[in-house]
Structure 1
Amino acid sequence: MARKKRFNGEVKVCGIHDLLREFCLIEAEMTKFMHVVRTPLSPAQKPNFRRFSIQKAFSDVYAYKVLPPVARSMYCFSFLDLPIEPHIKLLPRLPIYRHDPIIHGFFSCFNHLRVLVIFPTWFGPFPLVITKLFHLRYLQVRYFGNIPESISELHNLQTLIYDCHSSHMTLPGKIWMMKNLRYIHLGKASNYIPNPRIDNNLVTGMPNLEEFFNICYSSCTNEVFSRIPNLERLSIRASSIVRENFLYRLLDMSSLRKLEVFKLSWDNYSEKPIKRFVFPASLRKLTLDCCSHFIWEEISSTFIMLPNLEELKLKDCESEDDVWRLSDKDIFKSLKLLLLSYPNLKCWEASSDNFPNLKRLVLKNCQDLQEIPTDFGEICTLESIELHDCSTTSEDSARNIEQEQEDMGNNILKVYIHNSDTD
């Protein structure tokens, strides 16, 4: 069942019915695909599986020894049921972990692990024994603090998902030695990565890295970009810890010739962010979040220069002017999706020639917008106009566009109006 969909209609998150889930768990057990630990393990149990989903805390801290050492995948939704220290009883609902021989003994038993996922938050020091799991390809953890330098010992690691609960984090310099990394996702924190360095005349880098999410603006330098030449998806966050001198420099991303998806979160800085970026021509999807203090002419002049741009999303982006006037030369040739959220836009002057391939127009909280350009109905590719909590005049203009197209025999264009007060 589709839970969430992308703006292009593709399924983003799916789920299954409870009965189907139980059926899948039974089939997984019968075919020896995966063993789901839903009851406390006992020494009498000897599950002969290579994949485990631990959904019940161990009542006996040594019960993990019954798991086979040849396990390849382990998903820990719950973990060791250790006694809580007296001074930590203020947090009775949170899982507490200690860095002691029990933790070390647990991970050291599974030297063949390829996949390790720990969903509960880790409050203690990072278990260094995890960095000894040489065969790991996929690692996903939640915890407070920085990643240790010894993470570089995981030479086969391809995916690193690290949900840090602090405001910012610094990645270890030795992460540049992990040449097999393809995917790095660092939660919602602002994460600093040091410049790659040359050790023993060997240039370090991550040539196979394809996706890098939530890197801080301060660490985006030409040296960093030159070491990730095959990057396809990138997310940059400029937080309050960014040093002021970094806010005034030009960030040239033109060397990322394979970059297709880019998101920038500016966190309400007073400076103009759009003019501080040189975007690569390969971009297909671009999202600007909280990028205020721009003028609408900059949107036109900057992004029409991207020949492959198909999706443009401006979220919580407040401009300095309230009129977006597009000339005959302002043509977004490849744009299929345009999303405007919370803009202080009052007047929008545009024609169908400005967006010849637009399929979806999404407007959210456009309370000041007077109307949608009436000429948009002549965009032959336009399939939908969505309005969420917009002004009544813009809603009326959308309905008029839909009605006019229906009168002309065009039943493809649909208008969807959503208001939180009435939904």
Structure 2
Amino acid sequence: MDDIWKTDVWKELRVAFPDNLKGSMILITSRIKEVAEHASRNILPYFLPYLKKDESWELLSKKVFQCDPCPLELEALGRQIAESCNGLPLAIVVNVEDVAEDYLEELIGWSSIQVARTRTDGGVKTCRIHDLLRDLCISESKEEKFLEVCSDFNLLHMSKSRRLSINCATPSDMNLRDSSNCHSLLDFGYGLWNLVTLELRTSKIKCLPKEIWMLEKLRHLYLGGPTSIPRARTDDKALRNLQVLTGIAINQDTEYLFAKDMFPNLRKLGLHSLEWPETGLLSSLRHLHHLQTLKIYELFQLPSPNSFHLKLTNVTLVHANLSSTATSVLGSLPYLRILKLQGFRRECIEIYLHCNESSFRQLDVFEMVDLWISYWELGKGAMSSLRRLVINNCPSLIMRPEELYMVLDCLAGFGSLTSL
């Protein structure tokens, strides 16, 4: 019996097992010492020893890659992650973000926090919290060195917190070069060698300084955009731990950085077009073997499907040129599950949307917002896995009745249709 948390569980179950001295045994695993001791008064619990480095790596690689071998370019990083778990099997097999999300759902269930916005897949995107509870959280976080909210820049060097939130600041006001303990910064700062998350979505910065390449542990970089990233002084300064990168301007430097595979482990990417020809840049994304989510503002041209080999599952295009070629490229992405197309209310550019019979086979969610789609043609068998369709402010949309019935038939079993 695996992962027993309460003594009452064993009390209720043990009556179902006869105690007739036949020699059978029941093995119980628990993370709680009291439960293990309560299960049998005559047998001492066996406490698992910590895993050695090689054992930790073996467990992690089996969990992540199943029966396949770990790619050579990821082995060094994987061993580093396994070692950071300090030999604890549970820490290795359970992703930290998954645990945090479980706690978040629990707090929502207790009405301690409220959901403000939800993701397309139903998960929580943003939350709200009462002022009194927020003050308590900030106070406790500061004491635990988990998070500190700062407004006096002269006191920043005294902070020992792993996360800093800097309010009402401009880059010239700050000097954070002594904050080496900081893992997450929710506004701005450099010289933070252990930084994992850099949040700059409310900043108007147009170009990051070259010191960004010194943040080798950086995993999440959120920019308001469009923001440029300068080229590194040498090509060996890749941000190999970076998983999320948003708000990036599409320009010559950006194209060069992706072509040189400077962000090899990206999973989420957000791009802004600045009237730069995007064909070369999007083709250079082929190095991003782990990329799942892509959002692009003002995309004017998609490359051919042959040069756009990505395992994307989530694509959002804002104010894009939705030509027949673009639709064909998107429809050919074999793993695409979520597609969002957004326009601008003030522009009335008519769009012809054609989906042939073999396109969008795995698509679960399709959203169209503020688009002037003059005609939507849906081939037989297209979007056969669709479970949610959102149509918001698309006043000129026309579909043939038989195609509309096909969509409704897909949604009849499990899906939902929202039309506003």
Q: TM-score band (shorter)?
A: 0.5 to 0.7
* Match in the other structure for 2:182: 136
- Partner deviation per Cα, 1:156-204 (whole Å, 9 max, x = no partner): 11111124543x52112232222100000112x3111112232xxx821
The amino acid of 2:293's aligned partner reads: V
* Match in the other structure for 2:339: 312
CA contact (8 A) 1:358 1:381 kept: no
Greater helix content: 2
Change in 2 beyond 3 A, CA 1:204/1:311: same
Higher RCO (CA-CA < 8 Å; seq separation 6+):
1
* Match in the other structure for 1:114: 162
- Partner deviation per Cα, 1:199-248 (whole Å, 9 max, x = no partner): xxx82111000000101101322434501100000001123xx6x5x567
- Partner deviation per Cα, 1:132-161 (whole Å, 9 max, x = no partner): 21111011126xxxx6xxx2x322111111
1:27-46 maps to which residues of 2 (within 5 A)?
Answer: 36=139
What is the alpha-carbon distance in structure 2 between the residues aligned to residue 249 and residue 414 of structure 1? 38
Q: What displacement does 1:309 show?
A: 0.6
Among 182, 185, 200, the alignment partner of 2:222 is 185
The amino acid of 1:265's aligned partner reads: Y
1:18-417 maps to which residues of 2 (within 5 A)?
Answer: 18=130, 22=132, 24=133, 36=139, 51-52=141-142, 71=145, 73-76=147-150, 79-80=151-152, 103-104=153-154, 106-110=155-159, 112-118=160-166, 120-123=167-170, 125-128=172-175, 130-141=176-187, 151=190, 153-163=191-201, 165-166=203-204, 168-187=205-224, 189-198=225-234, 203-218=236-251, 219-224=253-258, 226-239=261-274, 246=277, 249-252=280-283, 253-266=285-298, 272-275=300-303, 278-292=307-321, 294-295=322-323, 297-316=324-343, 322-328=351-357, 330-371=358-399, 373-378=401-406, 382-383=410-411, 414-417=416-419
TM-score, with length taken from structure 2: 0.63
The secondary structure found in structure 1 opposite 2:206 is strand
The amino acid of 1:74's aligned partner reads: E
CA contact (8 A) 2:245 2:268 kept: yes
Change in 2 beyond 3 A, CA 1:13/1:373: farther
CA contact (8 A) 2:314 2:339 kept: yes
CA contact (8 A) 1:250 1:276 kept: no
What is the alpha-carbon distance in structure 2 between the residues aligned to residue 204 and residue 320 of structure 1? 43
* Match in the other structure for 2:24: none
What is the alpha-carbon distance in structure 2 between the residues aligned to residue 276 and residue 196 of structure 1? 29
The secondary structure found in structure 2 opposite 1:121 is coil
- Partner deviation per Cα, 1:281-309 (whole Å, 9 max, x = no partner): 211101111113x42x2133211221111
What is the alpha-carbon distance in structure 1 between the residues aligned to residue 233 and residue 416 of structure 2? 54
The amino acid of 2:329's aligned partner reads: T
What is the alpha-carbon distance in structure 2 between the residues aligned to residue 320 and residue 275 of structure 1? 22
The amino acid of 1:370's aligned partner reads: I
What is the alpha-carbon distance in structure 1 between the residues aligned to residue 229 and residue 395 of structure 2? 40
TM-score, with length taken from structure 1: 0.63
What is the alpha-carbon distance in structure 1 between the residues aligned to residue 146 and residue 359 of structure 2? 52
The secondary structure found in structure 1 opposite 2:186 is strand
Change in 2 beyond 3 A, CA 1:412/1:352: farther
Note if 1:9 corresponds to 2:44: no
The secondary structure found in structure 2 opposite 1:251 is helix
The amino acid of 1:138's aligned partner reads: S
CA contact (8 A) 2:218 2:241 kept: yes
The amino acid of 1:361's aligned partner reads: L
Change in 2 beyond 3 A, CA 1:299/1:374: farther
- Partner deviation per Cα, 1:29-49 (whole Å, 9 max, x = no partner): xxxxx563xxxxxxxxxxxx6
What is the alpha-carbon distance in structure 1 between the residues aligned to residue 407 and residue 371 of structure 2? 23
Q: What displacement does 1:313 show?
A: 1.1
Q: What displacement does 1:415 show?
A: 4.3
Q: What displacement does 1:372 show?
A: 6.1
What is the alpha-carbon distance in structure 2 between the residues aligned to residue 222 and residue 75 of structure 1? 37
Q: What displacement does 1:367 show?
A: 1.2
CA contact (8 A) 1:352 1:376 kept: no
- Partner deviation per Cα, 1:82-111 (whole Å, 9 max, x = no partner): xxxxxxxxxxxxxxxxxxxxx43x12223x
What is the alpha-carbon distance in structure 1 between the residues aligned to residue 226 and residue 415 of structure 2? 41
